[in-house]
Amino acid sequence: MHKLPARQQDLMDFILRRARESGLPPTRGDIAAALGITRQTADQHLRALAAKGLIELLPDTSRGIRILDADALAANDPWRLPLVGRIAAGSPVLAPDHIEEQLRVDPALFQPRADFLYRVQGRSMERAHILPGDLVGIHQQATARSNQIVAVAIEDRLTGEPTLTLKRYRQQGQMITLLSENDDQQTYAPIVIDLGRQRCEIVGLFAGLIRLNRDTPES
């Protein structure tokens, strides 16, 4: 989002907040009353925001403001979470580096608060009721207690690229063990990592899930 003068930032924040709370943009009268300015001044600031490509002003309507900066709208919406690719509940998969889409979900579904979502691939965590196709909420932090379920980025020894997996976490000194929640421990064997030889970083804590479709294939 553009670096804005203070008054224009106040106005943009108000537009985003009103759109988030009511689903509708404010009128110029709403803006003038909220910011303690005249309608003429409000209109000048609106035209400045439009010139910067943040909004579009629609003629002949009292709420003729269309928000064009989708990133700003998402960042100001506490119900909106980015869906960031897939996470393995099985063998680790390549960590994604892009956001697939933004989803609007109730923050109360997650504890602690989720910062982003991953789509589950694999069945290693099914005993913890985490199934293929579930969207898992991840609370971003770099530390965890023993036995917590975490999203972990593991360095691939051949490529050096991070791979991402969801497992139950245990650490003893330099040794990390990532455990599955599946009775088939031959297929879903523990992943043991020596931090002296291989990088492993906690991405965040499992905070809850959304189940969209129980029949989603494992791909």
Catalytic residue from among 22, 124, 146, 180: 124
> Which residues contact residue 29 at a Cβ distance below 8 angstroms, ignoring those fewer than 6 apart?
39, 62
Cα→Cα distances 177→64, 126, 147, 190, Å: 56, 18, 10, 6
19's enclosing H/E stretch is helix 6-22
Specify whether 52 is catalytic.
no
Specify whether 167 is catalytic.
yes
Catalytic residue from among 22, 91, 146, 167: 167
Instruction: State whether the Cα torsion 182-183-189-191 is positive or negative.
Output: positive
For residue 26, whether the previous peptide bond is cis, meaning omega lies within 30 degrees of 0, is no
Rounded Cα–Cα distance for residues 110 and 145 (Å): 18
> Which residues contact residue 188 at a Cβ distance below 8 angstroms, ignoring those fewer than 6 apart?
90, 123, 124, 180, 182
State the Cα torsion 127-129-135-138 to the nearest 10°: -70
- Please give the positions annotated as active site: 124, 167
